[in-house]
Amino acid sequence: MEFKTFVFYFLAVIMVIAALRVITARNPVHAALFLVLTFFNAGGIWLLLQAEFLAVTLVMVYVGAVMVLFLFVVMMLDINLDRLREGFWSYLPVGALVGVLMLAEMAMVLGGSYFGLEAMPAPAEAAEGYSNTRELGRVLYTDYVYPFELASLVLLVAMIAAVTLTLRKRKGLKYIQPSEQVAVKREGRVELVKMQAEKED
Amino acid sequence: MEAMLQPVADLFGAAWPAVWTLLKIVAIIAPLMICVAYLTLAERKVIGYMQVRIGPNRVGPMGLLQPIADGMKLLFKEIIIPSGANKGLFIIGPIMAIAPSLAAWAVVPFDDGLVLADVNAGLLFLLAITSMEVYGVIIAGWASNSKYPFLGSMRAAAQMVSYEVAMGFALICVLLISSSLNLTDIVMSQNEGRFADMGLGVLSWNWIPLFPMFVVYVISGIAETNRAPFDVVEGEAEVVAGHMVEYSGMTFALFFLAEYANMILVSILTSILFLGGWLSPVGFLPDGFHWLAVKTAFILLLFLWARATFPRFRYDHIMRLGWKVFIPVTLAWLLVVTVWMMSPLSIWS
């Protein structure tokens, strides 16, 4: 077996097991940590495909930031498993529909020969010195610059909306602006008063 | 070198590349661990002198055997796992803390060509690996099933995610002007320009055109490694020792090792990205690893200096500094650098 094949199966087996544990683990924190493991292995498989930028971005964004905040929330939740299971039967039809759709899509990829996938040429072997990062950057900022900017604008709007939705101005906060704190001068706080010494007769 | 190793390589046969890589890893990790041990001593000594004390001086001449004594003590201590803790994750916590801080060294170049993995996306790899450092703290805090560790890990999660953004922007500026993600190329690109030709390499390094980024990177590095004055994660006065409260013996030592290994990593990266790595500051002296060591030691001294000088930041001030000061500054400087690069005044062509 080629070393690359071995690495692929190694990553893929861990990934599938971890993905299964995400939905079977009883403890939500464990499930979130298994999701981290899944992402990490997916990043490894993308590295095998020479898509190092995507792999690193997956680890950086999903493992390094999104899942940290996810865990942050999940750890503080008091999750009652019985209450979670209450809506199981009412959600089942929707869930089943999504499941069947995903299964069909996976079947179409795996059974590609029946759907004329073989007509597509295999991707060309990357040349020496090929940089996935450089190539992606070139395409994103030349051919697809307007769609790219549009997507970033949509994200910006979503970000601002999320912040404004959760922003609550609380009254009576004793927060002090650090710039004001730093700007305090002695004259503003202390006043030296000259006065006669008081004597007791 | 190759010819000398040939008989050994024949002995191992097909497994030789793996064995050779393992040997290289040991050659990086073993000196690193010694550096970590003596950094703890250096920290106590330096802070001692700054506070007009002597520092540890009992074990060995001038206290030089102190780190070994500390290590032995921690090695022989019992590891206590609290009965309410989540056992598996309690053990995984410290492992997750130290693993990324060692893995990051794979792409760090020590000299021209002296690097374990000379990958093109080295800087991206570093960003991804260092972003995983927070997991050790979070997992440890949650698995301990105790209030103070949990508070500490919540603080760590928010703080490290915040400062990573500013650090990332600082790195983007560096990769923009060196137009490469390879750390060796980033160092070599600092050896070009008018001043480097005049033999004044020190003026052509990235720290002058990217001075705000340099400052932001060093301060964010202190925050990322949870060192004073940003050490609210373990803040003894409020949360006892944060995520490390329930840990003892070697499990505690792993957190300690990870913290110091991270300090050295941030310092060596600052030297590589902003201070010209192994390049000599002046033309008439040869380049070499010793320059990198000197620069790294200087940044490490800054870490210790900051710890001896500043009182601990209040938590909301830490968040304010990260989000409201550093990110706008880095964004503005990113704009300045891009405009500068495209203008006729560009010094990087």
Burial of A25 (0-12, 13-18, 19+ CB in 10 A): middle
Lookup result for tokens 């500026």: B173
State the Cα–Cα distance between residues B218 and B205, nearest whole angstrom.
Answer: 16
* Per-chain mean pLDDT for chain B: 85
Residue closest to B60 by CA, chosen among B70, B48, B46, B75: B70
Mean pLDDT of B19-27: 87
Put simply, the answer to whether A71 touches B154 (Cβ < 8 Å) is no
* ipTM score above 0.85: no
Give yes or no for a contact between B82 and B146, defined as CB atoms under 8 angstroms apart.
yes
pLDDT at B14 over 80: no
- pLDDT, residue A82, reads 65
For the segment A121-176, what is each residue's pLDDT rounded down to a tens digit?
777 766 666 777 788 888 888 889 999 999 999 999 999 999 999 888 888 888 77
| Among candidates B121, B142, B317 on the partner chain, residue whose Cβ is nearest the Cβ of A56 | B121
pLDDT at B203 over 70: yes
Give yes or no for a contact between B322 and B294, defined as CB atoms under 8 angstroms apart.
no
For the segment A9-67, what is each residue's pLDDT rounded down to a tens digit?
999 999 999 999 988 888 888 888 899 999 999 988 988 888 888 888 888 888 888 88
- Residues of B64-78 as b/e, b for ≥16 C-beta within 10 angstroms? eebbeebbeebeeee
Put simply, the answer to whether B121 touches A133 (Cβ < 8 Å) is yes
Put simply, the answer to whether B154 touches A29 (Cβ < 8 Å) is no
Residue of chain A with shortest Cα separation from B131: A64
Mean pLDDT of B92-110: 89
Chain B residues with a Cβ under 8 Å from any Cβ in chain A:
89, 119-121, 124-125, 127-128, 131-132, 134-135, 138-139, 142, 150, 153-154, 157-158, 160-161, 164, 181, 316-317, 320
- pLDDT, residue A1, reads 64
Residues 6+ apart with CB under 8 A from B20: B5, B9
- pLDDT, residue A80, reads 65
| Among candidates A30, A63, A69 on the partner chain, residue whose Cβ is nearest the Cβ of B131 | A63
